[in-house]
Chain A
C-alpha cells in the first residue's frame, strides 16, 4: 500500500541512525541556566523575580500581557543571579533571567495536578496549558493554548499529533513516542477534550515503525485515536502538509488548520500537556537530540530549558575538530549559531554540529524548474526568487510568497546553488513593512 503524503517535497538522507536507538538520557543538572524572556519575534515577558531571589524548580519567573504571551518557569532551584541581555539561539540578543543552581532541584509544582484530567472542563485544561508555559515543541514555539482556542465560528473535529519528525538527524520525538507512548496518547486525549474533537490521529513517518507500533499499542483501548504511517519525505512534519497527508484536507491560502477543523500539536507537546494537567508540571525540560558528524557521542537528552549548548556538547564528548556549523533544530530549517553559549529554549528539538563543506557559489538560474516540482505549497519559487532579487516585492506577493513556510526544499534541490529562503524572508519583511504604512 502506498503511504499517505502530500504533493512535492524532497528526500534528504535521514541521518537518524546515530541516535535512533539511544534511549533518552537525563542530562546532568546544570549549575547555571539562562532563560530568555523574548527573542525570535515573541512577546517580551516581564520578569517576576529580581536578582538575589531564591526560586524553586518550576516556579513561574516571568509572564507577559496579550493573548500570545506564555509564562516561563525556573528550570532548576537556586538563586537568580542576573537579569540582562544575552545571545539567544533565535539570533540576536534578548533579555534573560540567569539562575545559579543550588544542586538540590527542589520542585515547586509537585502534587498540583488534577486527579482525573480527562474529565476536567476544556477551559480548565486550556488554562493549565497556558499557565504551564506550553508552546509548540517542534521548533516554532507557537503558544499551544492559542491553537486550542479556535477563532469564533470554527470548530475542531480532529486533533493531529505530529510525530513526523521529518528533519534529518532529529530523533527526540521518535524516542519519546517509543519510550512514553502512553503519555503521548494521554496528551492526545486531553487535547481532544480541550477542543471537543471526536478523533485524533498520530502521524508518524515510516522510518519510525517502532514508534508507531508503540503508540498504536498504547491507544488500543481508545478506538478514536489511531497511529498512521506517512511517507518519509521532507517537509512531512509541516502542519499543512501533515493535514493534507492524513486527512486529504487543504488549508486555504493564508488560513489556519482550524479553518478545516483541525488542530496539530507536536508529540512532545502532547506529553507536556499531559504532564501539565495530570502532574501540574510546567514546561521546563524537553528532549533534545544532540547529533551530527561533528559531535563525538551523539545522544538524546532530557534537558532543562536554559542549559547552554556548550554544556550539552561537553556531555556528548565535545565537538570534533572539524566542526564548522552549529545548528539549533534540524539541518533543513534550523538556525545556525555563532556561539555555543546560547541556552536551550522550548523550541530546541536538536543541536546539530556539522563539518563545513564550504558554501557553493551561486550560479545563474537555468530555469530547470526543479524547485517548482518540490515546493510543498505549490508555489513557483523560481519566479518569486527572481522578483525578490530585483526588489519587486509586489510581484513576489502576487506569486504567493506569503504562503511560503521557508522549508527550503527549493534551495535543497537547486542545481545552481542559488539562495532562496533568505530572499523570501526579505520579501515577507518588505511586504509587511509596506502593509504597516
Chain B
C-alpha cells in the first residue's frame, strides 16, 4: 500500500516541480514574436515560390515586418497582397502597376530561317554560348524553352512552332523568364498596354526579309503621321518604339507589311 502512495507522491511532486521549471524558463527565455508576422504570412499567397528573393513566404513575412522588403516584391500576390500588408503594417505602399510578360518574337520554326543543325544541350542559354544558336536571325527566339522551364507558375507553354506562349491569367510578372532569356526577347509590359511589337531585330530590312517572314523590316510605315496621327511611334535602331498608352494603332497593325504588331488578347477594353 505504502509503495503505491510513495510512488504517487514522488512522481506527483516531480511533475509539479518540472512543470514549474518549464513555466519559469518559458518566461525567462521567451522569444518576442511580432504578432504581425503571422498575420502577414496569412496574407501572402503561400506559394513559397521565392520570386521575392527570400526563402519562402515565412522569410518574406519576417522581412516585411522588419521593413527589409516591399510587398510589391511578391509578384504572385499582386495589388491585393500589397493592400493587405499595408493595412497590417500601417504603411502606405502603393501597388505597382500590374504587368504581364510578352514574347517579342514571332519567328517560329515555320517563319524563320535556320542556318545550321544544332545538336548541343537543348537550352537557350547554353546554345547562345556557341555560335549564337541555330537560328539565322541573331535577335530572335531560340526555340528551346529556357523561359518555360524557369517559370515558377507554369505560365509559359512552348508552342508547336517553337515559340513560347504566355498564359496571361497565370503570369505574375515575376520576371524570371526575362532574366533567363539570353536574347532578352521577353519583356514585362503594363497589363493595360494593348499592343506590342513582336520583333527585336535591329538588322536592316533586306537582311530581315531574307531571314524571317515575320520580322520588322524597319520600313517606318507605322511612324508616318498619316498612319499614326498621334505621332507616338518613333523609329529607333531599325525598330519602332512607342509608349504603353498608344491608342491609335489600328491602321499600323493593319498596314504593317510583316504583321509585327501583336494586339494582346487579354488587353482590357479590346473591341
Is A339 at the interface (CB under 8 A from chain B)? yes
Shortest Cβ distance from A389 into B: residue: B121
Looking at the assembled complex, report how far the CB atom of A57 sits from the nearest CB atom of chain B, in whole angstroms. Answer: 31
Is B119 at the interface (CB under 8 A from chain A)? yes
Is B23 at the interface (CB under 8 A from chain A)? no
Partner of B126, one of A93, A336, A423: A423
Looking at the assembled complex, report how far the CB atom of B31 sits from the nearest CB atom of chain A, in whole angstroms. Answer: 32
Is A426 at the interface (CB under 8 A from chain B)? yes
Size category of the B interface is 10 to 19
Whether A419 touches B121, Cβ cut-off 8 Å, given contacts A92-B132, A426-B126, A429-B129, is yes
Partner of A91, one of B115, B120, B126, B130: B130
Looking at the assembled complex, report how far the CB atom of A346 sits from the nearest CB atom of chain B, in whole angstroms. Answer: 20
Chain B residue numbers with a CB within 8 Å of A336 are 116, 130-131
> Bound state CA distance, A254 and B126, in angstroms?
24
Q: How many A-B residue pairs have CB under 8 A?
A: 37
> Bound state CA distance, A92 and B125, in angstroms?
15
Is B117 at the interface (CB under 8 A from chain A)? yes
> Bound state CA distance, A324 and B117, in angstroms?
9
Size category of the A interface is 10 to 19
Is A359 at the interface (CB under 8 A from chain B)? yes
A417-431 interface (Cβ within 8 A of B): 419, 422-423, 425-426, 429
Looking at the assembled complex, report how far the CB atom of A167 sits from the nearest CB atom of chain B, in whole angstroms. Answer: 19
> Bound state CA distance, A426 and B131, in angstroms?
13
Looking at the assembled complex, report how far the CB atom of B143 sits from the nearest CB atom of chain A, in whole angstroms. Answer: 16
Partner of B120, one of A93, A335, A422, A429: A422
CB-defined interface of B13-26 with A at 8 Å, one 1/0 digit per residue? 00000000000000
Interface of A is mostly: mixed
Q: Which of B125, B130, B132, B138 has the most CB of A within 10 A?
A: B130
Shortest Cβ distance from A359 into B: residue: B119
Contact B115 A339 (CB under 8 A): yes
Looking at the assembled complex, report how far the CB atom of A178 sits from the nearest CB atom of chain B, in whole angstroms. Answer: 34
Chain A residue numbers with a CB within 8 Å of B125 are 426
Contact A423 B131 (CB under 8 A): no
Chain A residue numbers with a CB within 8 Å of B120 are 419, 422
CB-defined interface of B129-140 with A at 8 Å, one 1/0 digit per residue? 111100000100
Shortest Cβ distance from B117 into A: residue: A359
> Bound state CA distance, A336 and B129, in angstroms?
13
CB-defined interface of A87-128 with B at 8 Å, one 1/0 digit per residue? 000011100000000000000000000000000000000000
Q: Which of B117, B121, B138 has the most CB of A within 10 A?
A: B121
Looking at the assembled complex, report how far the CB atom of B123 sits from the nearest CB atom of chain A, in whole angstroms. Answer: 8
> Bound state CA distance, A66 and B129, in angstroms?
25
Chain B residue numbers with a CB within 8 Å of A222 are none
A17-37 interface (Cβ within 8 A of B): none
Looking at the assembled complex, report how far the CB atom of B234 sits from the nearest CB atom of chain A, in whole angstroms. Answer: 24
Partner of A422, one of B130, B132, B138: B130
Contact B121 A338 (CB under 8 A): no
Chain A residue numbers with a CB within 8 Å of B117 are 324, 356, 359
B124-171 interface (Cβ within 8 A of A): 125-126, 129-132, 138
CB-defined interface of A397-437 with B at 8 Å, one 1/0 digit per residue? 00000000000000000000001001101100100000000
Q: Which of B116, B125, B131, B132 has the most CB of A within 10 A?
A: B131
Chain B residue numbers with a CB within 8 Å of A338 are 115-116, 131
Looking at the assembled complex, report how far the CB atom of B117 sits from the nearest CB atom of chain A, in whole angstroms. Answer: 7
Partner of A426, one of B115, B119, B121: B121
> Bound state CA distance, A93 and B130, in angstroms?
12
Chain B residue numbers with a CB within 8 Å of A93 are 138
> Bound state CA distance, A391 and B26, in angstroms?
44
Chain A residue numbers with a CB within 8 Å of B116 are 336, 338
Contact B126 A422 (CB under 8 A): yes
Residues of B near any A CB (own CB < 8 A)? 115-117, 119-121, 123, 125-126, 129-132, 138
Give 14 A-B pairs besides A91-B131, A92-B131 with Cβ atoms closer than 8 angstroms.
A91-B132, A338-B115, A338-B116, A338-B131, A339-B115, A359-B119, A422-B120, A422-B121, A422-B126, A422-B130, A423-B126, A425-B129, A425-B130, A426-B121
The 6 closest A-B pairs by CB, nearest first: A359-B119, A91-B131, A338-B116, A422-B121, A338-B115, A426-B126
A-B contact pairs, 6 of them (CB 8 A): A91-B131, A92-B132, A335-B131, A336-B131, A425-B126, A426-B125
